[in-house]
C-alpha cells in the first residue's frame, strides 16, 4: 500500500494537472487505429513513439543484461517507437498483468493465450498488415492456441521444450529419464526443484503416460478425475524431496550455482546463463518426452499504441530479429528464414521446422472441462481444479 | 479611549477574513484540519477492508477470470473446512509464535541493558545500533540470509568443523530470518517501557532483601509486561502476514501470505484470496482482544 505523506498534499494540484495532461495524451493515443474489443485493425496509422511489451525473460533484450545481446535498439532506431518492457515468470502472472491494461503487446504461451482471448484482453490481429507473417512456418499458423474461429490472434514467436537440468558433479552421466525427479527423487532429497505453476501437473502426466500406460492418458492437458488424481499423487510424493519450487528464473540460477538444487526442470536460457558463469550444470531431454511452449505475440484489445504494436509484431517476426531472440532464449524460431541468421547448428539442435519433432512436445495449453483429446464420455479437470490441486500439493 | 490610526489597522483581505472566521469558530477549524486525513484514512483503510470482506463472498469465472458478483459462502466454507488451509494456518501460527518467543527472549536482556545498565553514551550508541538495520531494505536482508543459510554459505563454513550443518532452506530458516527482521520492533517498545521503570523501585527491592532474580520477576517484569506485549504485537502480526521471507528462504513451504499471493497472482481468484486474508485478520483481532486489558495498546 502506498501512502502519501502529508507534506505531499501541497503538490496535489500539480499532480492533478499532471494526471489530467496524461489522460489527455493517452486519449489522443487511442484514437489512432484500434477501436478495442474484438475488431482487428484495418490499416495502420502513424507510430505513437512508444510501445510497452510484456514478455518472458530473454524475449525483449536491449543490451542491459548483456551488451552483446540487443535487438530492441535497431527496432527503436528504425521506427522511433521507444520500447518499455516487463518480464513475467508464469503464464498466470502474464494473464493477470494484462488485466491492468498497461501493456500494448504480450508474448503469451498456449496456457495463457486462449484465456486472454476469452477474457477479451487481446484483439484479433490483421496478418495482412504484418509482411513478415508470410515467412512463418505453416504448421505454427492458425493453431488452436493462436487463433479462434478462424481468426488469427497473433504472430507465432518460437517454440521449445522444458528440459531436465542436472548438476554434472552429482550426475556424471546425463539422466535419461524424468524418474530422477519423480520415483528416484529420494536420492537427492531436498535438492530437487520443480516449476512453481499448476501447469507443472502436466509434466507429471507426461511421466505417467510412459510409466503407467494403463491410466490411458492421451494428452497431459486432458486429464479426467482418476488420471488427474494419479498425477497429483505423484507430485505429492515428489513434494517430500523438493528443496524449493521456482518461478523466478534468477532464483533457480542462484540455487543451481550454490548447489542448493542439483536436479529439476529448467529452460535452455537458464543453462545458457549458468554456462556463462561456469556452473557445473547441463540440460537434457529425457526419453518420456516433455512439455513445452509455443509462444504468440498478441496485441492488447485496449492497446494505447497499436501502430507501434503492429510494428513490433512485424519486426520480431523478421528473420534477423526472430533468429536473435529465439537463439538467445534457446528455442526454435518461428520464421523459416531465421536459421540463416542463427549460429551454426543451433537450429538443428532445436529441431527447427521439424514438424514431426514439434508434434512430440506437449505444448502448454489451458485445461478445460471439455477434454482436449476429444473424449466426450468423461469430464476433464479444468484449470481452476489444477490451481486448487497445486496449492494442495505444495501443502 | 484612543483609537488605532487607520494605517496601523490590518487591511481587510479575504485571507484575513478567513482567519478571523477560523479563530472564532474552533469547530470549523478542526473540521478543515481533519477532513483530508480522515477522508484518506476512511478511503484507504476502512473502504479497502470492507471491499476485501465483500469480495470474499463473490466468485470467479475460472476460464475468463472475471469476478461474478453473486453472493456465495463457498469461499468462506472452503477456507474453514479445507485441510490445506488448516495446515497452513497452523504452520503460520507456529512460525509467528516461535518468532515472537525468540524475539522476546533476545530483546529482554538487550533492552534491560540499554535502559538500566548502559552509560548514557553507550545507550545512545545501542539505540543507533538497533535502528540501523531498519535502514536497509527488507529484501536485501532476506537475500543476505538466503546466502548465509545456503549449502555453501557462511553458516555451513562456520559450523562444519564442529560437525554441524546449516538448516538449509525451510521453516527453521524462515524463523531465523523473521526473528532477525523483526527484532528491532520488539527491542524498542521494551526498551521504552523499561526506561519508565524508576530506578528507585529496583533499589527499594534490593534494600528490602530482594535478590536479583526476585527483583526482576516481582518488580521489573510486571511493570514491563505491557511493553513486552506491545513488542509481541509487532513481531506476531508482521510474521503472520509475511510471504516474501518464506519465499526466499522457506524452501517449498507456504504460509498464509503465499496462499493469498498465489490466489491473487497465479490463480486469479480474488474472492478466495480475500477469504484467506480474513484468517490472519481474525487471529490478530483475537490477539488484540486478549491483550487489551494489559494496557499494552497504550505502549504501541
Q: Give domain status of residue B22, yes or no.
A: no
- Please report the pLDDT score of residue B65 as a whole number: 66
Closest Cα in chain B, distance from residue A262 (Å): 11
Chain B residues with CB under 8 Å of A236 CB are none
Partner residue opposite B150 with nearest CB, options A92, A260, A392? A260
Question: Is any Cβ of chain B less than 8 angstroms from the Cβ of A38?
Answer: no
Q: In 3-state terms, what secondary structure has residue B229?
A: helix
Q: Give domain status of residue B45, yes or no.
A: no
Indicate whether A263 and A185 sit together in one domain. Answer: yes
Indicate whether A176 and A86 sit together in one domain. Answer: no
Strand order in the sheet with A192-195: A242-246, A192-195, A263-266, A163-167, A281-284
Range of the domain at B166: 82-299
- Please report the pLDDT score of residue A194 as a whole number: 94
Range of the domain at A272: 163-289+365-394
Question: Is any Cβ of chain B less than 8 angstroms from the Cβ of A306?
Answer: no
Indicate whether A126 and A210 sit together in one domain. Answer: no
Q: Give domain status of residue A360, yes or no.
A: no
Indicate whether A237 and A375 sit together in one domain. Answer: yes
Q: Give domain status of residue A275, yes or no.
A: yes
Q: For chain A, report the end-to-end CA distance as a whole number of angstroms.
A: 28
Indicate whether A174 and A255 sit together in one domain. Answer: yes
- Please report the pLDDT score of residue B93 as a whole number: 96
**Would you call A260 and B151 a contact, using CB atoms and an 8 Å cutoff?**
yes
Q: What is the 3-state secondary structure (H, E, C) of A215-242?
A: HCCCCCCCCEHHHHHHHHHHHHHHHCCE
> Cα(B125)–Cα(B131) distance, rounded to whole angstroms?
10
Indicate whether A274 and A369 sit together in one domain. Answer: yes
Question: Is any Cβ of chain B less than 8 angstroms from the Cβ of A75?
Answer: no
Closest Cα in chain A, distance from residue B94 (Å): 15
- Please report the pLDDT score of residue B75 as a whole number: 87
Alpha-carbon separation of residue B201 from B96, B220, B223 (angstroms): 34, 9, 10
- CATH number for the domain that contains residue B185: 1.10.3720.10
Using pLDDT thresholds of 50, 70 and 90, give the confidence band for residue B210.
Answer: confident
Closest Cα in chain B, distance from residue A76 (Å): 31
Please give chain A's pLDDT, 395 residues, in tens: 344 344 444 444 444 444 444 343 333 333 333 333 467 777 788 899 999 999 998 899 988 878 888 999 999 999 999 999 999 988 888 888 898 889 999 999 988 888 888 888 999 999 999 999 999 998 888 888 888 888 999 999 988 889 999 999 999 999 999 999 999 999 999 999 999 989 999 999 999 999 999 999 989 999 999 999 999 999 999 999 999 999 888 889 999 999 999 999 998 888 888 988 889 999 998 888 899 988 999 999 999 999 999 999 999 999 999 999 998 888 889 998 898 888 877 787 777 877 777 767 888 888 888 888 888 888 899 888 898 899 889 98
What is Dmax (Cα atoms) for chain A? 71
Q: How many CB atoms lie within 10 A of CB A379?
A: 13
Indicate whether A385 and A262 sit together in one domain. Answer: yes
Q: Are A304 and A51 in contact (CB under 8 A)?
A: no
- Please report the pLDDT score of residue B270 as a whole number: 84
Tell me the HSE value of B121 on the side-chain side, using a 13 A CA sphere.
0
- Please report the pLDDT score of residue A35 as a whole number: 35
Q: How many domains does chain B have?
A: 1
**Would you call B267 and A198 a contact, using CB atoms and an 8 Å cutoff?**
yes
Indicate whether A43 and A135 sit together in one domain. Answer: yes
Indicate whether A170 and A68 sit together in one domain. Answer: no
Q: Are A295 and A158 in contact (CB under 8 A)?
A: yes
> Cα(A358)–Cα(A350) distance, rounded to whole angstroms?
9
Report whether pLDDT(B243) > 50. Answer: yes
Tens of pLDDT, residues B55-108? 888 887 766 667 778 888 888 898 898 888 999 999 999 999 999 999 999 999
- Please report the pLDDT score of residue B74 as a whole number: 86
Q: How many domains does chain A have?
A: 2
**Would you call A387 and B266 a contact, using CB atoms and an 8 Å cutoff?**
yes
Strand ranges (DSSP E) for chain A?
Answer: 50-55, 82-87, 105-108, 122-123, 147-148, 151-152, 155-161, 163-167, 192-195, 242-246, 263-266, 281-284, 291-300, 332-333, 362-363
Using pLDDT thresholds of 50, 70 and 90, give the confidence band for residue B119.
Answer: very high
Tens of pLDDT, residues B146-173? 999 988 889 988 988 888 888 889 999 9
Average pLDDT of every residue of chain B: 87
Q: Give domain status of residue B26, yes or no.
A: no
Burial environment of residue B167 by CB neighbours within 10 A (0 to 12, 13 to 18, 19 or more): middle
Indicate whether A351 and A371 sit together in one domain. Answer: no
- Please report the pLDDT score of residue A11 as a whole number: 42
Q: Residues A299-327, buried b or exposed e (16+ Cβ, 10 A)?
A: bbbbbbbbbbbbbbbbbbbbbbbbbbbbb
Indicate whether A89 and A143 sit together in one domain. Answer: yes
**Would you call B262 and A391 a contact, using CB atoms and an 8 Å cutoff?**
yes
Amino acid at each position: 500500500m502506498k501512502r502519501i505523506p502529508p507534506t505531499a498534499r501541497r503538490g496535489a494540484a500539480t499532480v492533478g494537472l499532471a494526471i489530467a495532461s496524461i489522460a489527455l495524451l493517452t486519449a489522443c493515443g487511442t484514437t489512432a487505429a484500434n477501436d478495442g474489443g474484438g475488431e482487428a485493425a484495418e490499416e495502420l496509422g502513424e507510430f505513437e513513439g512508444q510501445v510497452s511489451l510484456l514478455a518472458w525473460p530473454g524475449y525483449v533484450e536491449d543490451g542491459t543484461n548483456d551488451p552483446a545481446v540487443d535487438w530492441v535498439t535497431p527496432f527503436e532506431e528504425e521506427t522511433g517507437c521507444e520500447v518499455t518492457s516487463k518480464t513475467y515468470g508464469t503464464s498466470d502472472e502474464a494473464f493477470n498483468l494484462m488485466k491492468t491494461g498497461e501493456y500494448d503487446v504480450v508474448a503469451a504461451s498456449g496456457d495463457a493465450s486462449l484465456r486472454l482471448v476469452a477474457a477479451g484482453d487481446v484483439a484479433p490481429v490483421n496478418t495482412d498488415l504484418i509482411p513478415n507473417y508470410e515467412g512463418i512456418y505453416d504448421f505454427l499458423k492458425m493453431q488452436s492456441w493462436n487463433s479462434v474461429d478462424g481468426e488469427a490472434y497473433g504472430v507465432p514467436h518460437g517454440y521449445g521444450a522444458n528440459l531436465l537440468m542436472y548438476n554434472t558433479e552429482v550426475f556424471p552421466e546425463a539422466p535419461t529419464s524424468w524418474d530422477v525427479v519423480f520415483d528416484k527423487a529420494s536420492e537427492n532429497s531436498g535438492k530437487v526443484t520443480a516449476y512453481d505453476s499448476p501447469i507443472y501437473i502436466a509434466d507429471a502426466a507426461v511421466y505417467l503416460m510412459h510409466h503407467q500406460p494403463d491410466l490411458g492418458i492421451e494428452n497431459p492437458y486432458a486429464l479426467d478425475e482418476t488420471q488427474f488424481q494419479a498425477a497429483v499423487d505423484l507430485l505429492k510424493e515428489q513434494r517430500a524431496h523438493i528443496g524449493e519450487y521456482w518461478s523466478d528464473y534468477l532464483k533457480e540460477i542462484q540455487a543451481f550455482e550454490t548447489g542448493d538444487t542439483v536436479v529439476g526442470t529448467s529452460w535452455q536460457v537458464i543453462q545458457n546463463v549458468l554456462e556463462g558463469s561456469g556452473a557445473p550444470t547441463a540440460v537434457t531431454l529425457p526419453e518420456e518426452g516433455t512439455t513445452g511452449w509455443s509462444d504468440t505475440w498478441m496485441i492488447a484489445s485496449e492497446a494505447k499504441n497499436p501502430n507501434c504494436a503492429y510494428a513490433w509484431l512485424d519486426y520480431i517476426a523478421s528473420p534477423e530479429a526472430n533468429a536473435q531472440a529465439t537463439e538467445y532464449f534457446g528455442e526454435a524460431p518461428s520464421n523459416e528464414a531465421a536459421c540463416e541468421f542463427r549460429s551454426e547448428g543451433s537450429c538443428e539442435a532445436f529441431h527447427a521446422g521439424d514438424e514431426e519433432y514439434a508434434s512430440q512436445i506437449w505444448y502448454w495449453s489451458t485445461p478445460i472441462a471439455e477434454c482436449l483429446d476429444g473424449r466426450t464420455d468423461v469430464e476433464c479437470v479444468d484449470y481452476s481444479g489444477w490451481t486448487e490441486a497445486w496449492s494442495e500439493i505444495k501443502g | 479611549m484612543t483609537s488605532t490610526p487607520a494605517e496601523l489597522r490590518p487591511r481587510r483581505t479575504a485571507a484575513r477574513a478567513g482567519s478571523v472566521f477560523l479563530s472564532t469558530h474552533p469547530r470549523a477549524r478542526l473540521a478543515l484540519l481533519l477532513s483530508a486525513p480522515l477522508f484518506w484514512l476512511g478511503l484507504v483503510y476502512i473502504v479497502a477492508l470492507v471491499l476485501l470482506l465483500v469480495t470474499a463472498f463473490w466468485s470467479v469465472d475460472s476460464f475468463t477470470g472475471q469476478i461474478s458478483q453473486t453472493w456465495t459462502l463457498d469461499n468462506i466454507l472452503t477456507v474453514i473446512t479445507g485441510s490445506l488451509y488448516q495446515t497452513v494456518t497452523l504452520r503460520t501460527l507456529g512460525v509467528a509464535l516461535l518468532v515472537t518467543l525468540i524475539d522476546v527472549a533476545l530483546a529482554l536482556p538487550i533492552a534491560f541493558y540499554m535502559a538500566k545498565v548502559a552509560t548514557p553514551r553507550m545507550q545512545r550508541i545501542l539505540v543507533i545500533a538497533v535502528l540501523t538495520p531498519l535502514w536497509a531494505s527488507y529484501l536485501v536482508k532476506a537475500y543476505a540470509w538466503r546466502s548465509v543459510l545456503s549449502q555453501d554459505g557462511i553458516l555451513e563454513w562456520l559450523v562444519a568443523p564442529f560437525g554441524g550443518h546449516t538448516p538449509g532452506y525451510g521453516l527453521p530458516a524462515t524463523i531465523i530470518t523473521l526473528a532477525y527482521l523483526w527484532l528491532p520492533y520488539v527491542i524498542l517498545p521494551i526498551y521504552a517501557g523499561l526506561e519508565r521503570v524508576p530506578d528507585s523501585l529496583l533499589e527499594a527491592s534490593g534494600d528490602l532483601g530482594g535478590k536479583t532474580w526476585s527483583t526482576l520477576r516481582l518488580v521489573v517484569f510486571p511493570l514491563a509486561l505491557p511493553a513486552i506485549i506491545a513488542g509481541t504485537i509487532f513481531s506476531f502480526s508482521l510474521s503472520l502476514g509475511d510471504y516474501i521471507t518464506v519465499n526466499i528462504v522457506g524452501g517449498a513451504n507456504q504460509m498464509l501470505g503465499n496462499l493469498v499471493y498465489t490466489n491473487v497472482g497465479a490463480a486469479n481468484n480474488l474472492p478466495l484470496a480475500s477469504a484467506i486474508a480474513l484468517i490472519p485478520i481474525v487471529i490478530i483481532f483475537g490477539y488484540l482482544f486478549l491483550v487489551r486489558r494489559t494496557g499494552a495498546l497504550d505502549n504501541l
